Amino acid sequence: MSKAKKTAVTPTREENFPEWYQQVIKASDMAENSPVRGCMVIKPWGYGIWEAIQRDLDRRIKETGHENCYFPLFIPLSFLEKEAAHVEGFAKEMAVVTHHRLVAEDGKLVPSGKLEEPLVVRPTSETIIGDAFARWIQSYRDLPMLVNQWANVVRWEMRPRIFLRTAEFLWQEGHTAHATAEEAMDETLKMLEVYRVMAEEVLAMPVIVGEKPAHERFPGADKTYSIEAMMQDGKALQAGTSHFLGQHFSKAQNIRYQTAQGGEEFCYTTSWGVSTRLIGGVIMSHADDNGLRVPPRIAPKQIVFVPITRADGDEALIEDFLAPIVKDLSAQSFGGERLRVHVDRRPLAPPEKRWEWVKKGAPIICEVGPRDVAGGSVAMIRRDGELKGQITPKDELVSRAAAILEDIQKTLFTQAATALKERTVTVRTLDDFLAVFADDTTFGRKFVRARWCGDSDTLAKLDEYSITIRNVPFDQDGEAGTCVLSGRPATQEVIFAKSY
Q: Which positions lie near its own copies, rule CB under 8 A?
A: 34-36, 39-44, 47-48, 50-51, 67-77, 79-81, 87, 91-104, 107-109, 111, 113, 118-121, 128, 131-132, 141, 147, 151-152, 154, 156, 168, 170, 346-348
| Size (the chain), residues | 500
Supply the minimum distance, in Å, between the C-beta of residue 88 and its own copies.
8
- Could you tell me if 364 and 385 are in contact, meaning their C-beta atoms sit under 8 angstroms apart? no
* In the complex, minimum distance from the CB of residue 77 to its own copies, in angstroms, rounded to a whole number: 5
| Cα dihedral 12/13/16/21 (nearest 10) | 100
> Shortest approach of its own copies to residue 358 CB, angstroms?
20
Is 23 or 409 the residue whose CB approaches its own copies more closely?
Answer: 23
**To the nearest whole angstrom, how small is the minimum distance from the Cβ of residue 466 to its own copies?**
25
Of residues 79 and 413, the one with the C-beta less far from its own copies: 79
Tell me how far, at minimum, the Cβ of 438 lies from its own copies, in Å. Answer: 38
**CA 393 – CA 375 distance, rounded (Å):** 8
CB of 165 to its own copies, least distance (A): 15
Q: At what angle do helices 181-197 and 44-63 cross, to 10 degrees?
A: 140
Q: How would you classify the pairing of strands 341-343 and 424-426?
A: unpaired
Residue closer to its own copies by CB (options 4, 158) is 158
CA distances (Å), 348 to each of 204, 309, 344, 353, 355, in order?
32, 10, 9, 7, 12
Residue 6 vs 108, nearer CB to its own copies: 108
Distances (CA, A) of 369 to 234, 310, 315, 425: 42, 8, 9, 50
Buried b (16+ CB within 10 A) or exposed e, 127-146: bbbbbbbbeebeebeebbbb
Q: Are 293 and 9 in contact (CB under 8 A)?
A: no
Core vs surface per residue 409-436: b (16+ CB within 10 A) or e: bebbbebbbebbeebbeebeebeebbeb
CB of 116 to its own copies, least distance (A): 9
**Shorter beta-carbon distance to its own copies: residue 262 or 347:** 347
CB 140 within 8 A of CB 260: yes
- What is the identity of the amino acid at 177? A
Residues 6+ apart with CB under 8 A from 55: 337
Core vs surface per residue 13-47: b (16+ CB within 10 A) or e: beeebeebbbbbbebbbbbebeeeebbbebeebbb
Least distance between its own copies and beta carbon 450 (Å): 37
Residue 135 vs 215, nearer CB to its own copies: 135
Estimate to the nearest angstrom the gap between the alpha carbon of 394 and the chain centroid: 36
d(CA 229, CA 451): 20
CB closer to its own copies, 180 vs 429: 180
For its own copies, the closer of residues 104 and 480 by Cβ is: 104
Minimum distance from CB of 344 to its own copies (Å)? 14
Question: What is the maximum alpha-carbon separation in the chain?
Answer: 83
Which lies closer to its own copies via its Cβ, residue 92 or residue 371? Answer: 92
Shorter beta-carbon distance to its own copies: residue 133 or 218: 133
Residue among 331 and 374 whose Cβ is closer to its own copies: 331
Backbone region of residue 237 per phi and psi (left: phi > 0; alpha: psi in -120 to 50; beta: other values) = beta
Torsion over CA: 400, 406, 409, 415 (sign): negative
Shortest gap between Cβ of 76 and its own copies (angstroms)?
6
**Please, what is the minimum distance in Å from the beta carbon of residue 241 to its own copies?**
22
Which string of DSSP letters, residue by residue, matches 206-248? Answer: -EEEEEPPGGGS-TT-SEEEEEEEE-TTS-EEEEEEEEEEETH
